Structure formats: C-alpha cells, structure tokens
C-alpha cells in the first residue's frame, strides 16, 4: 500500500505526461457524433468540477489522521480529473459543439457531494463513478473511428486505474479503523450505493455503452467484477473470520419451535406495548377492518386489505427492531447508522403510501355510494 507521499509523487509525475497529439484533427461526422454527444457533454461537465467540497472534507480528515500529504495528493487527483474535463471540452470546441452548464446526473451528484461531509462516502462515490467511467471511456473509444477522440479516451483510461487504486486504499484504511459491527453495515450500504449508482449511470449513458458493444448484461458483469476488485476486497480477511465465528454462535443459540413461537409473541407484545407508532397503527388497522366489515367488501378486497395491514405493521416492526439495534451499536451520530435508520423508515413510508392508495381504490367508491 502506497503512502500519501508516494501518491503525491505519482500524481506530480503523471501530470507531466502529454499523451494527446492535438495536431491531429477530429474526424467525426455529425451522424456518428449524434448518439454519443450528450454523454460526452455530461462527462465533460462532471470531470471539470472544482472539487472544493471534497478538499474541505479531505482537509478535515487529513488533520484528524495527521497526514498533510494526503491533501496534496487529493488536490493533484482533482487536477487530473479536471484535465480530463478540459480535454473533452477542447474536443467539443473543435467539433463545434457546446460545453453544457447543467445536466440532471451532474446536478444529482453535485447535490449529494454538497450534503456529504464524510471522507468514506466521498471515496466510495469516486470508486463507483471511476469504475463506470472505465467501461464508459472504453466503449466511447471502441464506438468511434475518430483518432483524436480515441487518444483522449486512452489518456483517461491510463489515469483511471491508479485513481481507483488511490481511493480503494483510502477506503481500506478508513474501514480498518471501524468496529466490526460497523464494518458489516458499511459494506452492505457500500454495495447498495455502488449498484444503484451503476444503474443510474447505465440509464444516463446507455447509448454509448451499446455503441461500444456493451449491453446491460455485459455492463452488469463488468461492474460486478470491478466491485469484487475494489469494495469486495475491503478487509476480506476480517469479514470472513467474522462469518466463521457467527455460524457456530447462531446454531448454538437455536431454540425449539415452541420457544421460537413464544419469543415471537413476546416481540409482538413489546412492539404494541412500547412503540408509539405500533399503537397508532394498531388503531388504524382496527378502524380499517371495522370500515371493511361495515361497507361489506368482497373476499378479494378483504385479502388485499389484510395484506396491506400486515405489510405496514410488519415493516414498522422491522423498522423498530433495526432502530433498537442501531442505537445499541452507536449511541452518538454516525452517517452510516443514520442512513440505515432512514432507509428502514423509508420502507415503512413506502408500504404506507401503497396501502393508502389501495384503501382509496377500495373504500372511496363505497363511501360515495353511501353518501
Ligand atoms: Fe476522470
Ligand atoms: Fe478519475
């Protein structure tokens, strides 16, 4: 694993490399440019970000771990990304196309970067985007006959592999300092973030991927292989040994069927007795069932209503259990724990919205008839 000083040295040397021959004129027709233009414009905008938020977070982090060289290395990393943006911009100028100022994907990432104050999430986001970028630029290179555009893509591809290595080593260092219980949560959330972001990038740039002969299946397989080589490798040794320890503990603690039934019943009582939302939902469920009985709904409608009641209360129970676990693992503020709690609460909200919509479909016509 390289030190920040090593990376500083690497980036300083790499920035001196001039791999593009700008005397070569672009040779691309408007027809060939059409399906890839929007993506080139979007990546050009994304690569030219000033990185100020990343530098602020990185400066705080470097002070905390007492590694001033890391700030310098990160500044040069951002400079290298801006070089990619400038080269793509210069290409757009040469082919007479505009550099865009706004794009939905870029705005989404900028907003996420603005809210984020954690080094680990910045690092994860960079690994994810860089992994997709490697596939994107290879596809762009394969999709065009323009020698100049091919040179630009090659230059970016040469830079991207060390970029991922730089960020992967940092994420490895960050996760090493976390407690084992936090590590599990973090890696699960990393995985979700990685694949959700990969999907967004596919939707936004599928024309270029397809032009480079990469369909969704190939793209997914390539992203999985990149995940396995980066985030999948984080502390693999520790995680495997945790897994080995967990298996015997789980089997040792197994109870008989009636014990399990008793504990499940106890869990239900705890939920309805102590959880405010449990009490509210119990009242709503009782009112819904009473209304269904009064309005004389059909058998199929009864099944739908009962599934909805079960889904919302079941989700709320899981949400409460997860919340208890999170509070036990981390009593103070932790961005990962916050995300876990928010997602679990979001699951309840999602189930509730669907149930309300179903309730309106079933009950509204009957209520109107009564009125
Ligand atoms: Fe880049
Ligand atoms: Fe990069």
How many whole angstroms separate alpha carbon 144 and alpha carbon 137? 11
- Which two structure tokens, joined as six digits, stand for 286? 């009782």
Residue 113 burial by Cβ neighbours in a 10 Å radius (0-12, 13-18, 19+)? middle
Query: 269: CA distance to ligand 1 center in Å?
Result: 54
Query: 329: CA distance to ligand 1 center in Å?
Result: 37
Span 109-114, average pLDDT: 74
Phi-psi region of 40 (alpha: psi -120 to 50; beta: other; left: phi over 0): alpha
Residue, of 233 and 342, whose pLDDT is higher: 342
CA 326 to chain centre: 20
Query: 290: CA distance to ligand 1 center in Å?
Result: 60
How many whole angstroms separate alpha carbon 308 and alpha carbon 298? 15
SS3 state at 191:
helix
Q: Which domains does the chain have, with CATH numbers?
A: 4-243 (1.10.620.20), 257-370 (1.10.287.3610)
Q: How much is the pLDDT for 351?
A: 94
Query: 130: CA distance to ligand 1 center in Å?
Result: 7
Query: Per residue in 253-271, pLDDT tens?
Result: 556 677 778 788 888 888 8
Query: 89: CA distance to ligand 2 center in Å?
Result: 16
Angle, CA of 136, 140 and 145, to the nearest 5°: 165
Query: 90: CA distance to ligand 1 center in Å?
Result: 15
**pLDDT > 90: percent of the chain:** 62
- Which two structure tokens, joined as six digits, stand for 2? 């390289």
Span 297-318, average pLDDT: 94
- Which two structure tokens, joined as six digits, stand for 28? 């691309």
Span 145-150, average pLDDT: 96
Mean pLDDT for the chain? 88
Query: 28: CA distance to ligand 1 center in Å?
Result: 22
By C-alpha distance, which of 126, 124, 1, 4 is closest to 63? 4
Q: Which residues contact 248 (CB under 8 A, 6 or more apart)?
A: none
Q: How much is the pLDDT for 255?
A: 61
Query: 88: CA distance to ligand 1 center in Å?
Result: 10
- Which two structure tokens, joined as six digits, stand for 266? 């106890």
Segments of the chain assigned E as strands: none
Question: Which ligand minimizes its atom distance to the CA of 87?
Answer: 1
Query: 187: CA distance to ligand 2 center in Å?
Result: 22
Q: How much is the pLDDT for 187?
A: 80
CB-based contact 70:6 (threshold 8 Å): no
Q: How much is the pLDDT for 180?
A: 65
Residue, of 249 and 142, whose pLDDT is higher: 142
How many whole angstroms separate alpha carbon 223 and alpha carbon 206? 14
State the CB neighbour count (10 A cutoff) for residue 54: 22
- Which two structure tokens, joined as six digits, stand for 87? 């080269």
What DSSP string runs through 256-281? -HHHHHHHHHHHHHHHHHH-HHHHHH
Q: What is the DSSP letter of 232?
A: G
Span 303-323, average pLDDT: 94
**pLDDT > 70: percent of the chain:** 93
Residue with tokens 């002969």: 213
Query: Per residue in 54-97, pLDDT tens?
Result: 999 999 999 999 999 999 999 999 999 999 999 999 999 999 99
SS3 state at 233:
helix
Query: 134: CA distance to ligand 2 center in Å?
Result: 9
Query: 371: CA distance to ligand 2 center in Å?
Result: 64
Query: 158: CA distance to ligand 1 center in Å?
Result: 10
Span 97-109, average pLDDT: 86
Query: 161: CA distance to ligand 2 center in Å?
Result: 8
Residue with tokens 């002070």: 63
How many whole angstroms separate alpha carbon 343 and alpha carbon 30? 45
Q: What is the DSSP letter of 72?
A: H
CB-based contact 310:289 (threshold 8 Å): no
Span 7-29, average pLDDT: 94
Query: Per residue in 350-363, pLDDT tens?
Result: 999 999 999 999 99
Q: How much is the pLDDT for 238?
A: 47
Query: Per residue in 209-249, pLDDT tens?
Result: 999 999 999 999 999 999 999 988 875 444 434 444 444 44
Letter string b/e over residues 305-334, b meaning 16 or more CB atoms within 10 A of that residue's CB: beebbebbbebbbebbebbebbeebbeeeb
State yes or no: pLDDT of 37 exceeds 70. yes
What DSSP string runs through 167-214? HHHHHHHHHHTS-HHHHHHHHHHHHHHHHHHHHHHHHHHHHHHHHTT-
Q: How much is the pLDDT for 154?
A: 97
- Which two structure tokens, joined as six digits, stand for 284? 């709503």
Segments of 66-149 assigned E as strands: none
Query: 134: CA distance to ligand 1 center in Å?
Result: 9
Residue, of 164 and 108, whose pLDDT is higher: 164
Q: How much is the pLDDT for 108?
A: 79
Span 277-285, average pLDDT: 89
Please state, in angstroms and as integers, the Cα–Cα distance from residue 337 to each residue in 69, 106, 129, following that order: 30, 27, 23
């Amino acid at each position: 694993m390289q030190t920040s000083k090593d990376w500083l040295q690497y980036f300083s040397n790499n920035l001196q490399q001039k791999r593009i021959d700008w005397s070569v004129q672009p040779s691309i027709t408007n027809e060939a440019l059409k399906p890839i233009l929007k993506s080139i414009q979007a990546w050009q905008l994304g690569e030219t970000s000033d990185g100020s938020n990343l530098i602020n977070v990185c400066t705080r982090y470097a002070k905390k771990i007492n590694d001033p060289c890391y700030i310098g290395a990160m500044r040069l990393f951002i400079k290298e990304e801006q070089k990619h943006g400038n080269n793509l911009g210069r290409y757009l100028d040469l082919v007479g196309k505009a550099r865009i100022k706004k794009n939905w994907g870029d705005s989404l990432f900028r907003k996420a970067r603005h809210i984020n104050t954690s080094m680990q999430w910045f690092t994860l986001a960079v690994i994810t985007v860089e992994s997709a970028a490697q596939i994107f630029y290879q596809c762009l290179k394969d999709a065009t006959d323009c020698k100049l555009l091919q040179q630009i893509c090659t230059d970016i591809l040469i830079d991207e592999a060390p970029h991922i290595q730089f960020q992967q080593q940092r994420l490895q260092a960050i996760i090493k300092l976390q407690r084992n219980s936090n590590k599990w949560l973090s890696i699960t959330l990393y995985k979700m973030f990685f694949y959700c972001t990969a999907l967004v990038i596919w939707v936004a740039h599928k024309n270029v991927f397809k032009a480079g002969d990469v369909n969704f299946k190939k793209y997914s397989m390539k992203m999985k292989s990149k995940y396995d080589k980066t985030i999948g490798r984080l502390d693999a040794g520790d995680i495997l040994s945790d897994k080995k320890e967990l298996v015997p503990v789980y089997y040792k603690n197994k109870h008989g069927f009636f014990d399990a039934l008793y504990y499940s019943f106890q869990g239900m009582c705890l939920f309805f007795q102590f959880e405010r939302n449990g009490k509210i939902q119990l009242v709503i469920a009782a009112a819904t069932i009473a209304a269904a009985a009064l309005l004389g709904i059909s058998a199929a409608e009864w099944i739908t209503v009962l599934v909805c009641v079960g889904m919302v209360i079941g989700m709320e129970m899981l949400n409460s259990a997860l919340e208890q676990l999170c509070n036990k693992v981390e009593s103070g503020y932790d961005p990962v724990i916050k995300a876990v709690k928010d997602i679990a609460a979001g699951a309840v909200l999602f189930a509730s919205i669907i149930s309300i919509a179903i309730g309106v479909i079933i009950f509204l016509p009957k209520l109107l008839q009564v009125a």
